Amino acid sequence: MITSITKNKPSFWHKVKNEFVVIKDDLKSFSLPIKILLLLLVLVAIFNSFFNFKTGKFEFIDPSLTLFKQVCKILNGFGTIAGVITVGLVTKKKISTFYWSYIYIPIYALYCASIGLWAIFQIQMFFFLPCSIAGLFIWKRNMNSNVAEVKTTPFEWKETLLFLGFFIIVAFFAFYEFKWINQLAGSKIDYSNSKDLSKAIFDAITSCLLMTGQVVQLRRKNFTMLTWLIADIGMMLSAIIPPSVGWADSYDFNVIIMTTIFVILAAYGIFRWNILPMIEARRKKS
């Protein structure tokens, strides 16, 4: 009897093969218009990664960069493909979103390290990556096998207040921790300087919005995409407001374009997570 059970148990490689089938099926699940939209967004993201708005030139190879920084820049450029697919799959509640995040997160984190964005590096590697690993197992236990989508949970006031508390605590911690990690890396940050202070505030708030979005996604809440939309808009504003009021020297158009892509996807996600189920429920009633 024991031998029989052992023989029937799927091997490791069989499980891996099944997961690749899931990834392929999830990609196929997009309708043609959405596939075209994702393709366009991917092309924009790649172009944006290599276009220098300061010089107005497309710089796939930048001679001024060290070999390490150049490699990281190229990897990040193509890593944005995985980033767009990751968000696209979240909009459809597909579990393979986490597999694509395992590609995007380390590449983006490495790129941030190469240009001295140590605060973002640590968030990506020590928060988003572990959350994505945990998310795979959490979502796997809560899948709707009929449609291959994760089951969502409804809005609850108590849990929402906990999310709000999490946001406030992390924002307060991040405000001071980001200063410490940047100083440790050799950056001179002075909170008495309005530019440094405003940047620190925006970095803390936007980072906490993104971290809150990740926690809400892990909890499979039905307002996940709304949280991501708010976080992405926050990221966009962090690149627009400081230069507009003189707190920064120039606009970061690369960040503005990338966050615009994520805002578009988050808006579509709200349609898929919230509006479409309401339409389908009304159809069933009628």
Which residues is 153 bridged to in the sheet? 221
The residue that leads in pLDDT, 284 or 46, is 46
Residue pLDDT, tens place only, 52-97: 887 888 888 888 888 898 999 999 999 999 999 999 999 999 999 9
The span from the CA of 211 to the CA of 171, in Å, is: 10
CB atoms within 10 A of CB 11: 8
User: Tell me: the pLDDT tens digits for 214-268?
Assistant: 999 999 999 999 999 999 998 888 888 877 777 667 777 888 899 999 999 999 9
Q: Given this model, what pLDDT does residue 4 score?
A: 47
Please tell me the distance from the alpha carbon of residue 37 to that of residue 264, in angstroms, as a whole number.
10
Distance CA 215, CA 167 (A): 10
**Model pTM?**
0.86
Give tens-digit pLDDT for 22-56: 899 999 999 999 999 999 999 999 998 888 887 88
Tokens of 193: 């300087």
Is the distance from CB of 225 to CB of 270 less than 8 angstroms?
A: yes
Q: Does 2 have pLDDT greater than 60?
A: no
DSSP code of residue 153? B
Lowest mean pLDDT among 52-56, 190-194, 235-239, 273-277: 190-194
What's the whole-number average pLDDT of the chain? Answer: 85
Compute how many other C-beta atoms are within 10 angstroms of the C-beta atom of residue 89.
24
Band of the pLDDT at 188, cuts 50, 70, 90?
low
Q: Which residues contact 225 (CB under 8 A, 6 or more apart)?
A: 90, 91, 266, 269, 270, 272, 273, 274
Whole-number pLDDT of residue 58 = 86
**CA-to-CA distance for 97 and 23, rounded, in angstroms?**
8
Query: What are 125-146's pLDDT values in tens digits?
Result: 999 999 999 999 999 999 988 8
For residue 270, pLDDT beyond 90:
yes
| Among the ranges given (103-112, 181-190, 196-205, 268-277), the one the predictor scored with the smallest mean pLDDT | 181-190
pLDDT of residue 191: 62
Strand segments (E) across the chain? 51-52, 57-58, 143-144, 149-150
